[in-house]
Structure 1
Amino acid sequence: MSRSDDVLKVHRLAHTGGSAALLEWLAARLGGWAGVVDAAQGRGPESVLRGVAEMNARGVRSAVLYGAGTVTLLFALEGGRALAAVLDQPPAPQAATLLADAAVPLALVLRAEEAARREARAGLAEARAREAVLHLLMNGRLSTAHQVAEALGPSLPEPMRMYVVECRTGRRGEVTRRCEQLTGGRAWIVRCPVYVRHLIVLVPADLASARADHDPLAGALVEVDPDCVVGVSGEARLREAPAAYTQAFHALAVARGRGERHARFGPGPELALAAQAAGAGWAGALLAPLHAYEPRRPQDPGGQELRATAHAWLNFASHATRLLKIHRNTLAARLRLVETLLGLDLARLGDQAALSLALRLTPGGGAGEDAPADAAARAGEDGPPGAARPGEAVPAPAARAAPDLDELLRDPRLTAWARAHLGPLSGSEAPAGARATLRTWLAHDARLVPAAAALGVSVPAARKRLTRIEALLERSLLRSPSARHDLWLAHRAEELAG
Structure 2
Amino acid sequence: MAGREDGIPPTTDRTTDRTRDGATERTAESAREGGHVDTPWAQGLLEHLRPTGRDLRRLVAWLADTVHGTASLQDHTGALLAGPRTALRQDLVADLVTGRIASAAWDDQGQHLRLVRVAHPHTSSAWVLAVSREAPFDRRASEIVTHTAQVVELLLRAREATEAARRLELAAADLRLAILQLLMVEDTVSARRVAAGLWPGLLDTDTACVYVVESGPGERDALAAECRDITAERALVVRCPAMDRHVIVVTPGEAAGEELRSLIGRRPGTFLGGSVRQSLARTATAYGQAVSALAVARFRPDKTAVYAERTHPERLMDPEALRVWTTQVLRSLDVLPHHTRAELLATTRLGLEFTAVSAAKVLGVSRNTVRARMERVEGLLRTDFSDLTVRAVVHLALNTQVGLGEEAVDGGTRQAGQPQVGDLLAGPGLRTWACDLLGRLDTDARDLRRTLRTWIAAGGNAERAAQTLGVHAQTVREHVRSAEPVLERQLLSAGSDLYEVVVAHVATGDLRPPALDRAKPGH
TM-score by length of 2: 0.67
Specify the alignment match of 1:425 in structure 2.
438
How far apart are the structure 2 equivalents of 1:484 and 1:182?
35
Aligned residues: 443
Shift of residue 49, structure 1, vs aligned partner: 9.4
Preserved CA contact (<8 Å) 1:254 1:470: no
> Which region of structure 1 is more displaced relative to structure 2, 241-250 or 216-225?
216-225
Specify the alignment match of 2:127 in structure 1.
83
Shift of residue 360, structure 1, vs aligned partner: 2.3
1:60 aligns with 2:74: no
How far apart are the structure 2 equivalents of 1:415 and 1:118?
64
Q: Deviations over 1:407-436 (max 9, x none)?
A: 223225766336425622313896443322
Preserved CA contact (<8 Å) 1:160 1:202: yes
Within the candidate set 416, 437, 444, 2:429 is matched to: 416
How far apart are the structure 2 equivalents of 1:265 and 1:123?
32
**Secondary structure of the structure 2 residue equivalent to 1:249:** helix
For structure 2, the 5+ residue unaligned runs are 1-37, 406-416, 514-523
Specify the alignment match of 1:492 in structure 2.
506
Specify the alignment match of 2:354 in structure 1.
316
**Secondary structure of the structure 1 residue equivalent to 2:76:** strand
How far apart are the structure 2 equivalents of 1:33 and 1:182?
46
**Secondary structure of the structure 2 residue equivalent to 1:34:** strand
Preserved CA contact (<8 Å) 1:176 1:189: yes
Specify the alignment match of 1:400 in structure 2.
none
Identical columns (%)? 28
Change (3 A) 1:34 1:305: same
Specify the alignment match of 1:138 in structure 2.
184
Give the 5 Å matches for 1:80-479: 80-85=124-129, 99-150=145-196, 151-152=198-199, 155-156=202-203, 159-168=207-216, 170-172=218-220, 175=223, 186-203=234-251, 206-207=254-255, 219-271=261-313, 274=317, 277-284=320-327, 286-287=329-330, 290=333, 292=335, 302-317=340-355, 318-363=357-402, 407-411=420-424, 416-417=429-430, 419-421=432-434, 423-427=436-440, 431-432=444-445, 433-452=447-466, 454-455=468-469, 461-479=475-493
How far apart are the structure 2 equivalents of 1:408 and 1:124?
48
Shift of residue 230, structure 1, vs aligned partner: 2.0
Preserved CA contact (<8 Å) 1:62 1:76: no
How far apart are the structure 2 equivalents of 1:415 and 1:38?
81
**Secondary structure of the structure 2 residue equivalent to 1:420:** helix
How far apart are the structure 1 equivalents of 2:215 and 2:187?
29
1:21 aligns with 2:21: no
How far apart are the structure 1 equivalents of 2:181 and 2:438?
35
Shift of residue 256, structure 1, vs aligned partner: 2.0
How far apart are the structure 1 equivalents of 2:106 and 2:206?
68
How far apart are the structure 2 equivalents of 1:469 and 1:447?
16
Shift of residue 327, structure 1, vs aligned partner: 3.7
How far apart are the structure 2 equivalents of 1:126 and 1:488?
41
How far apart are the structure 1 equivalents of 2:281 and 2:366?
29
> Which region of structure 1 is more displaced relative to structure 2, 241-250 or 168-177?
168-177
**Secondary structure of the structure 2 residue equivalent to 1:193:** coil
How far apart are the structure 2 equivalents of 1:417 and 1:330?
36
**Secondary structure of the structure 2 residue equivalent to 1:251:** helix
Q: Deviations over 1:296-353 (max 9, x none)?
A: xxxxx95544444333322221222322333444444444444445444333334433
**Secondary structure of the structure 1 residue equivalent to 2:202:** coil
Preserved CA contact (<8 Å) 1:442 1:488: yes
Shift of residue 115, structure 1, vs aligned partner: 1.3
Preserved CA contact (<8 Å) 2:99 2:125: no
**Secondary structure of the structure 1 residue equivalent to 2:302:** coil
Specify the alignment match of 1:375 in structure 2.
none
Change (3 A) 1:31 1:181: closer
How far apart are the structure 2 equivalents of 1:92 and 1:450?
85
How far apart are the structure 1 equivalents of 2:129 and 2:100?
19
How far apart are the structure 2 equivalents of 1:424 and 1:35?
73
> Which region of structure 1 is more displaced relative to structure 2, 12-21 or 437-446?
12-21
How far apart are the structure 2 equivalents of 1:454 and 1:191?
42
Within the candidate set 32, 35, 39, 2:74 is matched to: 35
Amino acid corresponding to residue 409 of structure 1 in structure 2: G
Structure of higher RCO (CA pairs closer than 8 Å, 6+ residues apart) = 1
**Secondary structure of the structure 1 residue equivalent to 2:420:** helix
Structure label with greater radius of gyration: 2
For structure 1, the 5+ residue unaligned runs are 209-214, 295-300, 367-403
Amino acid corresponding to residue 358 of structure 2 in structure 1: H
Amino acid corresponding to residue 117 of structure 1 in structure 2: E
Shift of residue 104, structure 1, vs aligned partner: 1.2
Amino acid corresponding to residue 242 of structure 1 in structure 2: A
**Secondary structure of the structure 1 residue equivalent to 2:175:** helix
